Structures are given as structure tokens and as C-alpha cells.
Amino acid sequence: MRRLLELQQKLVPDLIQVLRERYMLLRSIYHLQPIGRRGLAQAMNTTERILRAEVDLLKETGLLHVTAAGMSLSDEGVHVLDDMEPLVGELFGLTDLAERLQQKLGIPEVIVVQGDADQSPWVKEELGRVGARVLRQVVREGDIVAVTGGSSIASVAKHLSPSAAFRTVQFVPARGGLGERVELQANTLASAMAAKTGASYRLLHVPDRLHPEALQTLVKEPQVQDVLTLLRDTRIVLHGIGDALTMARRRNYSEEELQELETTGAVSEAFGYYFNEAGETVHRMPTIGLQLEEVHKAETVLSIAGGESKAKAILSFAKQSCQNVLITDEGAARSLLST
């Protein structure tokens, strides 16, 4: 496949560029549908005039439906997009990026999707689609899957679908989350994943951030104990990686606490732990849920994070050496490889 694309690049370079552009157009419409031409132009950082000819061509070939609500892919368009999947890594140089990133980070498997989540909203959807595909590949009957909150994991939930392997699976929130945006809480996402796949789920009704005294009281509750027991048997962990200060602000840290995080050099956050560039823990939230030592014991740890702005955080958490799979995007990958 790679050799064929190399020959095409030499003989008909324009064809490769056209393939890239039309793939990006189809992928953007798929994730944003139904969408109007103006909205699509804004999402792709181009103009309506440039898009018009391409959209008309794709409509004529039966790959697009255009209605008053906007553009969406036809069934044939979805099939074409799926058929192009094996080409994408070579078409955009993503296979090479992933291989180089594996070596740099020491992670067994790295998957890089096209684009930059900081620049294009559909890229986060693509991260979620790939995350859902990988989860379907690794899950086994009877698994306990621990999930964190956040927008990247919410995107995975949107792309899951029923499967026989999920029927005896339990989705469990990796930690509490009351007080954050409901749609991004681990509890919400665990229940959403169960609903999408036909699996079961448990909830952890505790705040994400606790005073030590409250933690000692709540951890003795039978329902909390039951969930913690399940978390200790987790085989798959599905989580995002956050920028340290961004996550701290979301949790309403005081200015004094934020300054302390900056002073200690915190750059990444996962599971309530804050890490510096060397991957050392510089702060730990008093929280109930999956502990870092339990993450290390899990058989499969699937991390999802994209956008150039997440590069330092991804590098920091990679030094924990507990990930089996990292799904990221081109923006983060190129930034990581330039350091």
C-alpha cells in the first residue's frame, strides 16, 4: 500500500492531494452533519466558494444528501469513508508519525488521527470514533471497564454500539464527579456507554474533590465500597489526559492553589493526580475512586488526548509507563516530535 501511494505521488501528485482534500471534506461532514455550507466552511477554515464545486461533485456522485437542514453523508458516502480507512495513515503520513511517537514515548501502540482538535471540532469526534473502535477490539466478556469524565471520553461514548461481547461488561466511573458539568461526569459517561452497548454500569455518587474528613466518612459507605471493589478488578481503563492548570480551574481551585501548582511545575492531570514534566506526582486530590497503583495493574490502559496544546501533558503522563494505547491527533503528535 505504501509503495503504491509513493508511485502515485511521483506520477500523479495532484491525485493524492485531491484524495486528501475529499477525505477531509467527507470526514468533516460525517462528524458535523447535518451542516450547512457556511458552517462547514468555518469548521474547515476555508470559504464557501472553494467548497461549492467539491460539494456539488460529491452530491452528483451520490455521496452526499443536501436538505434544508444541511448536508449529510449518504449510505454510499459512509461506505466510501470506511473503505478509505486503510489508506488514511499513509495518505497523511500518520503511520510514520505514530511509529516515531511510539519510540519517543515508549508506548506499545500509538494511533494518530488527522487534524488538530484545537483547530477543528470534528477531530475530537474522530478521536472518539477511533477510541470506540479500539475498545470494541480489546473488550472481553465479564470485563470491568473504568472510565473517567471529560470531552474526549464523551466522544467515545457517542460512537459505541451494541456488541455481544459487551453484554456481561460493567462500566464503572473511575472516580466521583458531582459538581462538574453533568454531561462530562464519569457517572454520566459510564451509564451512556452501558446504554449504547447493552452492558451494565455502576455509579459513584461522591464529589470529585473531598475534604479529608469527608473522604474518610464516605469511603465507609457500602455502596461506595462495592464500587471500589469493582475498580480493584478493572481490566480496562479508558481515560483522558488533562492540562494541569485547566483541570484545576475546572475544579474551582483557589488562586493560591493554582499558584502552588505552577510553582511545582504541574503540567498534566489524570485520575486526580497532577504530574510535572518528569512524570512525578506533585499534587494529589483527596478523591474516591481508581488510584494510580490500580491503573498500573490494569491489563489495558487506553489514553485519549488531542490538540497541540495537550502535547506537554501527554508527554508528562507517558512517563508513568502504564499506557498500552495512546490515541492522539496530528497536532499533538507533531508538537511532541518537535521537542
In this predicted structure, the answer to whether residue 150 has a pLDDT above a threshold of 70 is yes
For the ranges 8-12, 41-45, 72-76, 318-322, the lowest mean pLDDT is seen at 8-12
In terms of pLDDT, which residue wins out, 328 or 28? Answer: 328
Q: What is the pLDDT of residue 179?
A: 54
Q: Give the model confidence (pLDDT) of 29-69 as tens digits.
A: 998 889 999 998 888 888 888 888 888 888 999 999 989 89
In this predicted structure, the answer to whether residue 151 has a pLDDT above a threshold of 80 is yes
Q: Give the model confidence (pLDDT) of 228-240 as tens digits.
A: 899 999 999 999 9
DSSP string computed for 82-135 = HHHHHHHHHHTTHHHHHHHHHHHHT-SEEEEESS-TTT-HHHHHHHHHHHHHHH
Q: What is the pLDDT of residue 16?
A: 72
Q: What is the pLDDT of residue 13?
A: 56
The answer to whether 321 and 108 have CB atoms below 8 angstroms apart is no
pTM for the structure as a whole = 0.85
Cα distance from N-terminal residue to C-terminal residue, the chain: 30
Domains of the chain: 2-89 (1.10.10.10), 92-337 (3.40.50.1360)
In this predicted structure, the answer to whether residue 90 has a pLDDT above a threshold of 60 is yes
Position 82 confidence tier, pLDDT thresholds 50, 70, 90: confident
